[in-house]
Every structure is written in structure tokens, then in C-alpha cells.
Structure 1
Amino acid sequence: MRVFKFGGASVKDAEGIKNVYDVLQKVGYEDVLLVVSAMGKTTNALEVVIKDYFDKSSALQSSVQEVKKYHNQILLDLFEDDSNAVFTAVKAQFSDLDYFLAHNKSPNYDFVYDQVVSYGELISTTILAHFMNHMDIKTQWIDVRNFIKTDSNYRDATVDWDLTHKNISKNVKRKTLNITQGFLGSDENNFTTTLGREGSDYTAAIFAYCLNADSVTIWKDVPGVMNADPRYFENASLLNQISYREAIELAFYGATVIHPKTLQPLQRKEIPLYVKSFINPLLKGTSVSRGVNLEPYLPCFIVKRNQLLISLSSIDFSFIMEENISEIFSLFHEFKLKVNLIQNTAISFSVCVEDKFYNFNELNAILSKKFKVDYSQNVTLYTIRHFNDSAAQTVENGKKVILKQISTETMQIVTSEN
């Protein structure tokens, strides 16, 4: 079997749904399992619903209505006759959402989050499956929550691989087009869970592993994986081939290529992963598989903006020792600051971090009791894999370099704008 993953951008409207049909006509759909995300920005819209729910906002009904209106317009654009069964199916799913919002008793934000956002994927796959049937492609719609079983760590659930493997290997029909949801699973009580960052890609990898699939293809609005983000770098080039190891290295430094947890099950069975264009589906795209690390061999640029550079030094000029570093990292973990670069000398310790949850001020008050703390806000961290002098110059031109770190394969540069 082949596993295809279509993200929200590929199914954001009626034309996107029709384009998925066109892609399948060109590349084939027998023995294919589609993993599909919520349509467009639906997850963001449902996050507004959740916020209004917890705020007990009078805007709750309005924010729910916006989600309904968006999907209803797509239905009207796809199906001429509103008596089509898909209208009833989608209405029933929205009724389930309304019932949950009216009757839920749990105050647990993460639990509520997973129950609510899941409707994005459930509704998108329902619409897609009905459209494929309407176009005479027979499909099997799969509720992924009956297949991928997890623990109850809502919003970042851990997969029960043994039970999941048993469910998928026994119950997925071959010789047909299977359509299921990305990002979702369920716990032992059958409450919905979500799989965390890049969860839909991970879903595709889980199914591929359990089905011993021939390949996984992630369909995007770009020709494949580029060596740099075209928004920040001119003349970004397509990478034809990336090894599993290199893809994990790139992801570690912050590239949005593929999340490591997606690659790990594929690497174990050496299932190739392709990143291809849903606009030009017959182009080769990028292959992530066993083989050469990188082809063509080019510097790869990763940019992380809005970083915080923190430098700690001993108040009494004593050494920064293992126990100090252990304490510092424990605090970073407690305050949810993600560390992206580390550099230390005998009496100082510098880190470049993301303060995603705006906890630094509170952390700084604690650190300042034991260390001299200097920091620079809104710096940019550039990571260059397979760097050369020209690549470094590209990054450094017109910027103030405030920290640089070099290893055999990788250069990291922290800059502030002049």
C-alpha cells in the first residue's frame, strides 16, 4: 500500500478537494490510504471556540457558527443537491460538537482541546470521502480513533504501538481507497486524543509502519524540500534526496521538513518518504530514504526568529560547574523555555532559547539570585548545515553577529539587526 498525507492547505476549499481527486487520477488510488488534516485554518478557528468556551464568552455561538458556515459553503460548492447524504453527515458531527460544549463537565483544558479540535479532521475527511464517492471512486472512511490507541496525555499523546498495530493490520481493507484523519487517536476510555506537533505526518507514518507500506507521500504546495526558506533566502534550491539521518538533523535544528517522530517508524522499516507538490503531482519532489545524505550537496539554512539569548555568569567569578548547569536546565524545563544553542566557558554559560510561553521574566527573577544575568531579546538564530564561507557570509551580511558556534558539519550564528 501507499500512504498519502494531505494537509489543510490542500483541502482548504472546494477547488482543493477537486484537486485531490485530480491528483489521485494522475498517480493512482488503488491500495492507497489517505491521511487528511482539517480544512484550511479550521484548527485555529476551533481554538477560538475553545477560548470562548473557557472564557464563558457570549461570542461562543458566533465562533461555532463561523466554523459551520465555512464548511457549509464548501459543501454547497461541491454538491449541487443539498439532499446529498454528506449534508446530513456533517450536520450530525456539528450536533455532536454542540452537545459536547453544552454538557462537558471537565475543567481540563487539554482534554477539552482534544475533544473539540478533532471535529476539524472528522468533518474534512467526511466531506472528502463523500466527494470521492460522488466522483465514482469507492472509498472506505475510517475513524482513526478506532485504530490509533494512546495514553491519556491530551494534546501530546503517546501511541500504544502493540494495540495500534493489531488494530490497523487486521482492519484496514486493501484494494480500495481508505480515507482517515490525521493528528487524532483515542485513549482506553475512547476519549479523543491528539498526537502533538506535526501529528498528521506522524499518523501517516504510523499507518505505513503497521501496513508495511511501500511509501509515504506528503503532498504540499511546494515542489519538495528546499535547502532554505524562500521567504528569507533568494535562490533556494530543491533537495532531491535526503537521508533519514540528515532529515532528523535538520529537524533537530528547527527545520520544518519532517518531525523526527514521523521519521523514526519509517526508518525502522526503511519505508521511503516523499515530499511532493499537489499542484504538479508528476514532478519527482524530494525523497527521504536510505542513501546519500544530501543530493545535491548544498548548505541548508534554518532560521529561528524571536529568540532570546541569555548569558549567565557567576557573581563571584567561580566556575560554572555541572551542578550549576543541571540546575539551570531544570529551571528551563520547568518554565518551558526551549534551548536551541548552548555555549559555555569557565565562568559563563550562554543559551539561545524560545520563550514561547512568556515565562522568562519569572525565570529571570530566580536566576538573578545566583547568577549575573545578561540577555538580548528578539535575536535571530541561523543554523547552516554543511556550511561554507559563502553560506556564512550570506547570513552575516548586514547583521550584527553576537554569537557564533561551529562544529564539523554545522554553524550556528546568533544575530541582531544593525
Structure 2
Amino acid sequence: MKVFKFGGASVKDAEGVKNLVNVINITGEKDLLVVVSAMGKTTNALETVVSHYFSNPSEIEAAVISVYEYHFEILQGLFPASASEVFADVKELFKELKGFLKRTKSKNHAFVYDQVVSYGELVSTAIVSAYLSEAGIKNTLLDVRSCIATDANYRDANVNWEATQERIGSKVSKKGITITQGFLGAENTNNFTTTLGREGSDYTAAIFAYCLNATSVTIWKDVAGVLNADPRFFTNTTLLHHISYREAIELAFYGASVIHPKTLQPLQRKEIPLYVKSFVSPLDPGTCVGKGVALDPETSCFILKKNQVLISLSSLDFSFMMENHIGDVFKWLHEYKMKVELIQNSAISFSVCVDNKYDTLEPLLAKLRSNFKVKWNEGVTLYTVRHSRPSEIESLVENKTVLLKQESRETVQLVVKE
């Protein structure tokens, strides 16, 4: 059995759904579990609904109607209006969503978020499953929440692997085609919907692959595979034909748009290969992440992060920066939700490059000033280069001010001011 995962971009409109069917037909796979994300930017639209629930309730209905109309347009592009039950099924799902928003009194943002945003996946899979049937492809629609058991850590739930393995083993047939939702689970106590956090749909595919002992996972994207650099910022990028599990995890750790480590971990444990392929050209080989050589071809990989903050600290009395000082710094970085991208320390100084995603720089700096001399640079760029050549680094820093450089055997990191 194989696992396919289709992201939101692949099913953003009626043509996308038709192409999903085309991919299944072209690949000729008969025993499949297909994980489908919410269509297009539906998750963003439902996040707006959540925002209105907490701050502007009068706008909830209009926001929900907008999401419904988007899906209704896709339905009209796929089915004769009077000939399919899926119109009623989708309308019922939106009725459920409206009912939850009217009933609930919860002030727990993460809980409300998971209950609302989940309807993106529930609606998309209802449409995809119905269209597969319309196209003559027999399939089973599975509610993933009956399979993936989690704790109640809403928005970033942890999987109960023992319960999940048991449920998937009893509910999923290894024969035929099964359609299910990405990103979602259900907590054990009250069976409320949970979501799995960043790259949750990819993770869903890996969970099913692990529990079903699948032969492979394929993630279908609008690109040819994994490139050695982001083509928005670098020219002459190279398609990577093969990446080892370890190398993929390293690249993801430094911020590359490869595959999230939590997706790779269950696959690595059973040595299940993961493919990243183009849904535009489904017969092209794409990229394989699996056991074997670190990189094919052997080439440098470039990762760029803009709008970072470099903070440099030194002790007030020129004493050594000891473990207790650094421990305090990390405690405060965690408290102010700063994602640490790079650290460097010497006897009397400590530097850290962070992502000020939650706009908490000012209170963090105020906290740090009470214990340290503080210097900082905002709007800096962090380059991470794996397997680099000296000439590439020289070219990279040309006409830039290098504020910090750190080098190990396989990785060079540079904080620069453009």
C-alpha cells in the first residue's frame, strides 16, 4: 500500500480536483490512502472566522458565507447541480460549523481554532471523495479523527501512537482507495477535534504510512521536487534527486522548505521512502527522501531567512558568561517566544540570532538590560549554507556587512546586513 498527500494548492479549484483524479489514474495505483488538505487558502479564511469569534462576532456569518461560496463554486465546476448528494453534504458541514460557533462559549483560543479550522479538511475530502466516485473510482471516505488519537494540546497535539496504531489497524483497509483528512486528530477524553501543528498534513501521511507499513509516501506539490535553494532568492537552482533522512532533517532544522522533521521521524524508523513530486508532471521522478547517499547531486544547499534580529550580550562587570547566565537568557527567549536560529558565545559575550515573529523584542530587550550590556541589530539576514565551497561564500557576502560568521564541518552560517 502507498500513501499520497495532496496539499491545498493542488485542490484549490475544480481543475485541481480533476487533476488529482488524473494523477491517480496516471500513476495506476489501486491500493492507496490519500490525505487531502483544505482547499487553497481555506485555512486562512477560517482563521479569520476564529478572529471574528473573539473580537468581532457580527462579522462571523459573512466570513463563513464567503468560505461556503468558494467551495460551492468548486462544486459547480465538478458536478451537475442536481445530480450529486455532495452539495447537501457540504451544506450540512457548514451548518455544523455555524452551530458550533453559536453554541460554544469557550474563551480558549486554541480549542476554538481547532474546532473551526478543521472544517476546511472535512469539506475538501467530502468534495474529493464524491468527485472520485463521479469519475468511476471507487473509494472510502474516512474521518481521520476516528483514527489519530492525541492529547488535548490544541493547535499542536501530540499523537498517542499506541491508540492510533490500534485504530488505524482496525479501520483502514490496505486494499482499494481511502480518502482522509490531513492535519486533524481527536483527543481521547472528550473526542474534541485537535490539529497537529506545522506541516500537519504531511505528518498525517507519515503517521498512516508508519501504522500501515506502507511502501512509500508521495507528497504532491506544484514544484518539480526539492531544490537546493529557494528560486525566489537564488538563480540557477538545482533539483535534488535524493536526500538522506539525516540531511533532510538538518536542512529542515535550519529552515529549508523541505519536510518537517516530525514527518520524517516515523518514516525513518521503518525506512519508508518519501517522494516529493509535481502534480503537473506526475511521471517525473521528483525527489526521494530516504536511506542512502546524503545528497544527489552533491551540491551546496542555501537557506535564507530575512528580517531576523541579532542580539549580542556581555556581562555588566566583564565577568565570564557562565552557564547560569546563558540559562537565564534561554529562559527569557522562551518566555518571549523568540525562535532561536543561531547562537555563538565567547568568554565574556553571547550572541543569538532570533526571529521576532510575535513582536516581543522590546520587552525582551528590557529584561536583558537588567542583567547584561545589550547590543542588537534588526532587519538582518541569516544565510545557512550546507556543503559550501569558499568561492560561494565569498560571492554570497559580496557588498554585504558580515555581523557574525559561524562554521562547522558541513555548515556555514552568516548573519549579514544587506
Give the shorter-chain TM-score range: over 0.9
Equivalent in the alignment of 1:43: 43
Secondary structure at the counterpart of residue 223 of structure 1? coil
Match in the other structure for 1:258: 259
Q: Name the counterpart of 2:413.
A: 412
Counterpart amino acid of residue 315 in structure 1: L
> What is the identity, as a one-letter code, of the residue corresponding to 1:163?
A
* Cα distance between partner residues in 1 of 2:129 and 2:399: 51
Q: Distance in 1 between matches of 2:233 and 2:169?
A: 43
Query: CA-to-partner distance for each residue in 1:65-120, whole Å, 9 max, x for gaps?
Result: 11011000000111123341000000000000000000002110000000000000
Contact map agreement 2:406 2:414 (CA 8 A) in 1: yes
How far apart, CA to CA, are the structure 2 residues paired with 1:81 and 1:55? 37
More moved, 398-407 vs 370-379: 398-407
Which residue does the alignment assign to 1:181? 181
Letter aligned with residue 214 of structure 2: A
Alpha-carbon contact 2:228-2:300 (below 8 Å) kept: yes
Distance (Å, rounded) in 1 between the aligned partners of 2:64 and 2:81: 24
Question: C-alpha distance in 2, partners of 1:85/1:397?
Answer: 61
CA distance in 1: counterparts of 2:109 and 2:29, whole angstroms: 39
Identify the residue that residue 75 of structure 1 maps to in structure 2: 75
Q: Which residue of 1 aligns with 2:330?
A: 329
1:227, 1:26 → 2: CA distance? 28
Partner of 2:218: 217
TM-aligned CA deviation for residue 17 of structure 1? 0.2
Report the Cα distance in structure 2 between the residues aligned to 1:21 and 1:55, rounded to whole angstroms: 40
Structure 2: tracts of 5 or more residues without a match: none
Structure 1 position 246, deviation (Å): 0.4
Over aligned residues, Cα RMSD in angstroms? 0.8
Q: Secondary structure of 1:53's partner? A: helix
- Who is 1:245 aligned against? 246
User: How far off is 1:393 after superposition?
Assistant: 2.5
Q: Distance in 1 between matches of 2:171 and 2:51?
A: 37
Give identity over the alignment, percent: 60
What is the Cα deviation at residue 394 of structure 1?
3.3
TM-score (norm 1): 0.99
- Per the alignment, residue 146 of structure 2 pairs with 146
Correspondence for 1:338? 339
Distance (whole Å) between structure 1 residues aligned to residue 4 and residue 381 of structure 2: 35
Amino acid paired to 2:27: V
SS at match of 2:3: strand
What is the match of residue 17 of structure 2? 17
Compute the displacement of 1:242 (Å): 0.4
Alignment correspondent of 2:134? 134
User: Separation in 1 of the partners of 2:29 and 2:266?
Assistant: 23
Q: CA deviation at 1:178?
A: 0.5
Q: Which residue of 1 aligns with 2:99?
A: 99
- Structure 1: gaps (5+ residues): none
CA deviation string 1:152-172 (max 9, x = no partner): 000000000000000111210
> 2:174–2:212: 8 Å Cα contact kept in structure 1?
no
Matched, 1:308 2:309: yes
- Structure 2 CA distance for aligned equivalents of residues 76 and 397 of structure 1: 54
Encode CA deviations 1:264-319: one digit per residue, 9 max, x unaligned: 00000000000000000000000001000001000000111111100011111111
Q: What is the letter of the counterpart of residue 159 of structure 2?
A: V
Counterpart Cα distance in 2 of 1:371 and 1:92: 58
1:373 — aligned with what?
374
1:55 aligns with 2:65: no
Per-residue deviation, residues 237-272 of structure 1 (Å, max 9, x unmatched): 000000000000101111110000000000000000
The alpha carbon displacement at 1:58 in A equals 2.2
